[in-house]
Structure 1
Amino acid sequence: MSVPNPLETVRKEHEIAVRAEDLPLHCPLPGEPVNLLHPRVFLDPTAEGEAVCPYCSRRFRFEGPLPKHHH
């Protein structure tokens, strides 16, 4: 029996759309092998409409209405 490669679960997109239900946002994303990528960093894509991970340079673009606490 072969052992699954945890890197196969990593999202490979350079730009990822996120919505209010994805907050709080952190990179690596849930389900990704945190110990194989980089330290977890929390990002706020609501401030300017997008956020870039300082470790892997993935861009997270916020779509949709802001959460109620962001008036």
Structure 2
Amino acid sequence: MQNHATDNKQRQIEVTADDLPLHCPMPSMLLWNSHPRVFLPIEDTGEALCPYCGTRYTLRGGAAGGHH
């Protein structure tokens, strides 16, 4: 049986607009409670770095062009 959850050892994760608002750790991580949940602002720059575990998130398609 294959487990589709990711672990916190992966340091580069690509996310989509469906994952917003972005927070780390993500629910799909095996160690989802390894550090306090922190929301990461990724919409403006297209990248975010978790201050707790150092995971770098990149937004597929890049930063949002404008605000709604």
TM-score normalized by the length of structure 1? 0.69
CA distance, structure 1, for counterparts of residue 19 and residue 57 of structure 2: 11
Is the helix fraction higher in 1 or 2? 1
Tell me how far 1:9 sits from its aligned partner. 5.0
Gaps of 5+ in 1: 1-7
RMSD: 2.5
**Matched length:** 62
Q: How does 1:1-71 map to 2 (within 5 A)?
A: 10-32=7-29, 33-35=31-33, 37-64=34-61, 66=64, 70-71=67-68
CA distance, structure 2, for counterparts of residue 16 and residue 9 of structure 1: 10
Q: Max radius of gyration: which structure?
A: 1
Change (3 A) 1:9 1:55: same
Tell me how far 1:18 sits from its aligned partner. 0.8
Counterpart of 1:54, as a letter, is P
CA distance, structure 2, for counterparts of residue 31 and residue 45 of structure 1: 18
Change (3 A) 1:63 1:13: same
TM-score normalized by the length of structure 2? 0.71
Give the ranges of 4+ consecutive aligned residues of structure 1 lying more than 2 Å apart after TM superposition.
8-12, 31-35
State the identity as a percent. 51
